[in-house]
């Protein structure tokens, strides 16, 4: 089962614009992570935000976390064509042993 629902399912923007993806999750978490997947490839860890943090930055990435709403958002600023990929939120469930993924957002950045 999926831990998180993400929206939008797909997002198409122009290079230079910002991209925002949202994730809602079901169970309590210690932290929430975001991963990126290029088409037909494995996943790459982008950023982790702990449950006691509200916002975190890493380069052009900004993640927010609202534990009261069980939601998180990932903002990619000044997007580039190379940012085209699928983005997944994920958190540990099942007693902290299983990393469960959201449904994902497919981002396309056009030149």
What is the rounded distance in angstroms from the CA atom of residue 7 to the CA atom of residue 87?
10
Return the residue of 15, 24, 75, 92 that touches other proteins, per CB under 8 A: 92
8 versus 16: smaller Cβ distance to other proteins: 8
Instruction: Report helix, strand or coil for 69.
Output: coil
**Residue 28: C-alpha distances to residues 46, 52, 58, 73, 88 (Å):** 21, 12, 24, 16, 18
The contact mask relative to other proteins for 71-90 (x = CB under 8 A, - = no) is -----------------x--
By the criterion CB under 8 A, which residues form the site for other proteins? 2, 31, 33, 35, 40-45, 48, 88, 92, 97-104, 106
């Amino acid at each position: 089962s999926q831990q998180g629902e993400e929206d939008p399912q797909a997002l198409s923007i122009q290079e230079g614009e910002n991209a925002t993806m949202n994730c809602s999750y079901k169970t309590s978490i210690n932290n929430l992570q975001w991963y990126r997947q290029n088409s037909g490839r494995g996943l790459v860890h982008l950023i982790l935000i702990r449950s006691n943090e509200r916002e975190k930055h890493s380069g052009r990435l900004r993640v927010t976390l609202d534990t009261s709403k069980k939601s998180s958002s990932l903002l990619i600023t000044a997007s580039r064509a190379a940012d085209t990929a699928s983005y997944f939120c994920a958190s540990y469930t099942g007693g902290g042993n299983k990393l469960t993924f959201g449904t994902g957002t497919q981002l396309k950045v056009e030149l």
